[in-house]
Chains A and B, each alone.
Chain A
Amino acid sequence: EPEVTQTPSHQVTQMGQEVILRCVPISNHLYFYWYRQILGQKVEFLVSFYNNEISEKSEIFDDQFSVERPDGSNFTLKIRSTKLEDSAMYFCASSEQGMDTGELFFGEGSRLTVL
């Protein structure tokens, strides 16, 4: 069964360092997303991406964050200068249709720890 894969599963970084989280969405999906969950809190929407551009982003997704689909298969989330409060589990998801009708398929997450 097709699945969304994410790497790395866990990354530890120093505050101020750049981090790139990678995702391979399901191949025929058109919509891509990043969500995160800070320990003990709700899953939070970060950004949605469609047709090679950001379609929606949350207030969390500030200038420190960026997304890219560099080669038609990978979908990456970059945090330019990590802060302690960026420590969270980051989930990539993809869907065939938009969130108004289509279910999301999630990866298993990348745990980011910022020291």
Chain B
Amino acid sequence: ILNVEQSPQSLHVQEGDSTNFTCSFPSSNFYALHWYRWETAKSPEALFVMTLNGDEKKKGRISATLNTKEGYSYLYIKGSQPEDSATYLCASYNTGKLIFGQGTTLQVKP
């Protein structure tokens, strides 16, 4: 059974703090790793799709790295703002399916 795990499950930080979360995925038959940002009552919104080992992508204050050999990806948020509060989902594309983790819920306090 293919399993994608994210940690921590939830995170509370102060405005201005930098933070990071982890996504672990099966390294065999790996094709791509997706990150999505999901605000309450909205639809998940794509952040990154990463395919190459060692890949690093950045969008504003958010960046992500990928290690396909050991099966993990980190998502970093620099200088968290209240509007960053959301659930961050990672998903591994493997054997024709996108397998999601359970998400990390970030709460940024002003």
Contact = CB atoms under 8 A, between A and B. Distances in A.
A21 to B, nearest CB: 15
A63 interface: no
B57 to A, nearest CB: 11
A61 to B, nearest CB: 11
A107 B101 contact: no
Contact of B89 (A43, A45, A56): A43
A44 B3 CA distance: 11
B51 interface: yes
Contacts of B34: 99, 103-104
Interface residues of A, number: 25
A56 B31 CA distance: 15
Given A91-B43, A99-B34, A106-B36, 8 more contacts: A42-B101, A42-B103, A43-B100, A102-B49, A106-B44, A106-B45, A108-B41, A108-B42
Interface of B: 31-32, 34, 36, 41-46, 48-49, 51, 89, 91, 93, 96-103
Interface of A: 3-4, 33, 35, 41-45, 48, 55-56, 58, 91, 99-109
